Amino acid sequence: MAIVNRLTVDGRDYFLPEPVTELKGKILEAIKAGGGYVNIPPLRSGPGIDILFSPGMPVVWTQIDVGGDGDAVAAVGEPATDDFDGL
């Protein structure tokens, strides 16, 4: 199971690998200080992006499970088993 974290800042999404605990702390510190830049690392490689965080700025964290075990993925050509009666 692979977890990807989605950070939504002012309507823009940034996807981040685990762990994000330290990054959350840096964002919180910047906001408590009245504002400051925090480097958001890239999902794979690269320099990342500096974002200015300030009090009142909407920030939302979401965890997404992008992995899965074999049972959760249906084989190609296998019929769906969910019934959607009443739609």
Peptide bond into 17 cis (omega under 30): no
| pLDDT (0 to 100) of residue 45 | 82
- C-alpha–C-alpha distance, residues 32 and 68, integer Å: 37
pLDDT at 68: 62
Q: What percent of the chain has pLDDT over 90?
A: 47
pLDDT in tens, 7-40: 999 899 998 888 899 999 999 999 999 999 999 9
Domain boundaries, the chain: 3-65
**Between vectors from CA 66 to CA 63 and to CA 71, what angle results, nearest 5°?**
125
